[in-house]
Structures are given as C-alpha cells and as structure tokens.
Structure 1
Amino acid sequence: MISLKQLHHFWLTAHRGGIQRAAEASGLAPQTISAQIAALENHLGRPLFERQGRRLVLTPAGELTLQYADEILRLTEALEQALASDRPTLRLKVGLLDSVPKAIAAYLLAPLRALEQPVTLHVSEERFAQLLGALATGALDLILSDIPPTADPALPLFSQCLLDTPVAWYGAPRWGPGPITWSDLTHIPLLLPAAPTHARVTLLAQLQAHGVTPTIAGEFADTALLVEMARLGDGIFTAPELLSDALCQDGRLVPLGNIAELHERYWLISHRRKRHHPAVVQLSQTFRAASVPSSAQPTKETP
C-alpha cells in the first residue's frame, strides 16, 4: 500500500526540482528521500523520474502520479484542519466554465449558505475539456456550465439543469425604449463575446435564421469591458434576464426586450460518485423545480 510519507517525499521532490532540494526543505538526508521514492516506484511498478543530464524530470507516470498526489495531500491537510475545528468545514472544489456570468455563478452557489456545515469554496475557471479532466481525477467536486455534458463511457457523470432563464437585449438609453426587433439589428451595432460561447453561437444562428447581417462593433474576451462599452453607447448585447437588476441599477443600461427564441440554461455536473456530496445534493434539491423543457433532460446520468 502507498504510504503518505512516500507520496509526500515524491511530491516534494517533484515540486522542488530535485532530491537535494527536497532534502533541504524537509531536513532529511537525500538518501532517505531517494529510498522513499524508490519504494513508491517499486510499489507502482514503473519509474516516476528520469535523468536528463543533471536534472530529474517526471516521466508520464510521474506526471499522472503528481496530479493525484497534489489532490491527496490537499485533502489530508483539509481533513486535519477540519478535525481541529469545533465546526468542521466542508471544502468544495467548484469548476466554473469561463462563459458562465459571475453573477449567475454566485446565484447558483448561494443555497450552500443554508447547509448546517460551513462551506469553504475553492473556485477555478477554465474551459470545458479541462474542467471535465479535473472532475475525472477528483480535483473538482462539481462544475457549473452553460452547456450540458455529452455521454462518455470513460467518465460516468451526474448532471442537472439548475436554471433556465430568458435572454434579453441590454444597451444604453439611446437605443431605447425597445423592444428590439430582429429588423432593428440592421442599424444597431452588436457587442459580442469573443470566445465561441453557447450564447454567441445561438445568437448568431438566430441572426442568420432571420436573414440579419449585423454590424458587430466589438468582440470581447472580458465581459466586464463589453458591459462598460455598452454603457458608453457603443452597441447592445444579450444577457440572462435574471441579471437585469444588477445590469441596470445605475441607469446607464436599460432592458430592451426579451428574445423569445433564446434561453440560457446552466448545469450542475459532477462525477457520479460525487452525486451524494452534501453540496451537490443541496444544489440539486434547491433548483429541482427549475423550468426546463422535457427535451433538455433536466436530470440525467451518463453511462
């Protein structure tokens, strides 16, 4: 069986860049570090390091082992901290798809405050493929996404649509009073997200379906900058209706009408083995009544 001592010495060597530096950091003899790594390699049946000149570099097996070691040692530290407290804290690792608005993410995570056990959130933002990879290795407990997962036999998932919200146009008062029609978009410039997000793809598909060739005034990787340019009157943009109060509170933006053909859906995705995690259960039960068309499969498990 792998011991935490072996794993820690391997982890320290990998992160410090060599046995000598690991020995200096731990106060142990280099021979002790080497022996622990050798025992780990012997147990796993493959080398974790190889020499390139005077340097030690990770083998492919070593890189994979390091991913798991990072997580195992983080969990060990979290366990020690939780047991040292009178009210153990629930550590929740959330992956956020970079196209999900931060205000939507905060809204979806808000029910966690109702849990009896205090929650410490660790949120990382990434693209979908990277988030699924982290979910597979246990580096994440759940993902919040604006696209549902596809079936993958190698990764059994639990997913649920938490929120289905209409989409509306927003812009400076100069573009009002609304409602904006598709024909209006021949002379009103658009502000779009730069990445091929679900919102962008569906909007462009509707423009094409209505025979509209829009004037695109800007494409932005930074959503905050897109919104600020809209406040300056450079164009209009789409956002979930749920964000209307937050976007329009200072009067520099106004709602310009809902888009009947567009809805934004936000999904909770977790590994099937995590579906009974208290946070996953809390979010699933809180948002179970979300209004989702039957074709959207609000709750499902992939093989």
Structure 2
Amino acid sequence: MKNQLFYKQEQMAAKLNYNHLYYFWVVAHEAHLTRAAGKLCVSQSALSVQIRKLEDQLGHPLFERRGRRLELTEAGQMTLDYADAIFAAGNELLGTLREAGRVSRRRLTIGALATLSRNLQRQFLAPVLGDADVSLVLRSGSLNELMQALESHNVDIVLANQVPLRTDTSAWTVFDIEQQPVSLIGAASRDSAGGDLRHLLRQHPLLLPSRDSGVRTGFDALAVRLGVQVEIAAEVDDMAMMRLLARENIGVAVLPPIVVRDELRDGSLRELAVLPGISETFSAITLERRFPNPLVTRLLSASAATRKDGVAAR
C-alpha cells in the first residue's frame, strides 16, 4: 500500500518538468533566446523545443516575440513568479545545508511601504539590528507589490500604515504594532503663541497627507467640526518628503511625531499642537506559514512588549 501511494505521489511530482522550468526561468530573465542559450550552453533550437514542451504541459503560451525581444504573456509572468520562488527556495536550501554544523545566519526579509516612516521601521526592527546571526533584507514598494511578495513567500513581514482589502481567500493577519497621535509639526521659527487650534490652522499653510489616507480623512473631518478653511501648501503621501518640506519651512505638517523624532530632539522642528481624535496606526502584516520564521515571532513579541495594550490582531 505504501509503495502504491509513493508511486502515485511520484507520478504527480513528475507532471512538472523542472528542467524545462529552469530553461524557461533563464530565458525569461534574459528576455532573449540566443543569450539564454549561450548561458545554458545549449543550442537555440534545443532551447526552443524545451520551452514549447513546457508551454504544451501548462497549456498556455509563455512568451510572445516583440522584435528581437521575448516578452512574457500573462501566463508567462505568473509562471515566472512561481519559478522565482521555487529556485530561490532551492538556493536557500543549499545554503542552509552547507551551513549545517556551523552557526548560520537567519535570513529575515522585511517589506515596507515606500512612503512609510523610516523612524517607525527602525524602531520595529531594533531587536534584530546589529545581530550578527541575522541577515536582514529590506524591500520597499506599493502595498499591492508587497502583498504579492508576501503571498509568494518572498518577504516575511509587510510594514504598512494601511490595511489591504480582505477577500475570502486572504490568509494574512494584521498586527497593530504602533498607534501614534497626529500633531501639527512646524519649523522652530513658526509662531504658535497665543492661539488655539483654530488660530493655528488658519495662521499656517499646511502640509497634508493625500486624500486616500486615513489621517487625511480624520483631519478633514476635524476642520469641518472646527469650521476652519485651511490653506494647503502641499499634499504629500511620502512621510520622508513631508518631513523634508517641514524642515524647509514650506508649511506646517500634519504628521505623527515619530516621523520627525530626530528633528524634535535637536530643536529644528517643534510640535505646535496635538490634533484631537486623530491617530495613525502602523501595522505588521504576516502570512500563516507551515514553517514560520522564528525572527517574525521575535519582532512581534518585542513590539507587543512595548505597547501597553499589547498587539491587537485583526
């Protein structure tokens, strides 16, 4: 019975020819059949045959020719995503086995929104920064790009200040790692004496987050409640850019203080007022895995220990 089960599993595994997949992978990254054939030390005609066999097996064309270049079809791009993960896992396996018996460095790959506060990232990663046993990889991108990387196991954690839309097939979990109040942050020369919040909002041009931001939604509602018409100096979705514009005294920024923590310490910026009822939540998004990276647990546990309410998982 065991032999029959093993034979069936072997038959299933044999359905995908990994040699053909490897040839496809090289061609896809080279985007040129002749260069790929030279790299693989096979003839161009032989390589074409291998690619056609893989296409026949998958039931979809993987490339379309554009002049001298080969461009991936939609099915080809999907196949490349899987091939990247497969061969990356193979390289990681080889590296792990070569390090057997020696103290090896654990790899941790973090994806963060390109617009996210660097101070927040540094604070979250503090437990592993400088650890000689940790090989840290930091990647940035859009939320959609990072979630795709998470689901294809190319990153271990996604750091964001927005939560992706959940579907019936979503298998990820969101951990709130930090909730920061939002303030009016201005250059040291900005006058805040003798005025309440209405006066400050009327007095200074503002640097605001873009309209799809939760902070912006909260701020707009606050302005309506206060009956204030504000002057907008700039709308910025990148926290690093807003930090720079505030330092250049272009306007007063609507920001969590953690974003400009260093400037608040050295006095180049100052907190003019706290905006009541507005806060920004920073989150770590993880995917349930059969073989979880223990460094993920380490970071989440350390984050929970620094928060009075612990980590709120949604």
TM-score, L = length of structure 1: 0.83
Structure 1 counterpart of 2:271, from 241, 255, 261: 255
Which range moved further: 255-264 or 284-293?
284-293
Instruction: Answer yes or no: is 1:215 the counterpart of 2:231.
Output: yes
- What value does the CA root-mean-square deviation take over the aligned residues? 3.0
Task: Answer whether contact 1:164 1:291 (CA < 8 A) is retained.
Answer: no
Q: Distance in 2 between matches of 1:125 and 1:53?
A: 31
**Secondary structure, counterpart of 1:72 in structure 2:** helix
Which range moved further: 263-272 or 222-231?
222-231
Task: Please show how residues 1-303 of structure 1 align to structure 2 within 5 Å.
Answer: 1=14, 2-50=16-64, 56-85=70-99, 86-113=102-129, 117-126=133-142, 128-177=143-192, 181-194=197-210, 196-220=212-236, 222-243=238-259, 245-273=261-289, 276-289=292-305, 290-291=307-308, 298-300=312-314
Which range moved further: 20-29 or 242-251?
242-251
Q: Distance in 1 between matches of 2:122 and 2:290?
A: 21
Task: Answer whether contact 2:211 2:217 (CA < 8 A) is retained.
Answer: no
2:252 maps to a residue whose letter is I
Q: Distance in 2 between matches of 1:149 and 1:180?
A: 37
Counting matched residue pairs gives: 296
Q: Distance in 2 between matches of 1:135 and 1:159?
A: 13
**Secondary structure, counterpart of 2:179 in structure 1:** strand
Q: 1:156 to 1:275 in 2, by over 3 A?
A: farther
1:171 maps to a residue whose letter is G
- Could you tell me which runs of 5 or more consecutive residues in structure 2 were left unpaired when the two chains were aligned: 1-13
Percent of matched pairs sharing the same residue: 28
Larger Rg: 2
TM-score, L = length of structure 2: 0.81
1:162-217 superposed Cα distances (whole Å, 9 cap, x missing partner): 11122222112232456861342112211123463333332223222322111112
Q: Spell out structure 1 runs of 4+ moving beyond 6 A.
A: none
Which range moved further: 240-249 or 138-147?
240-249
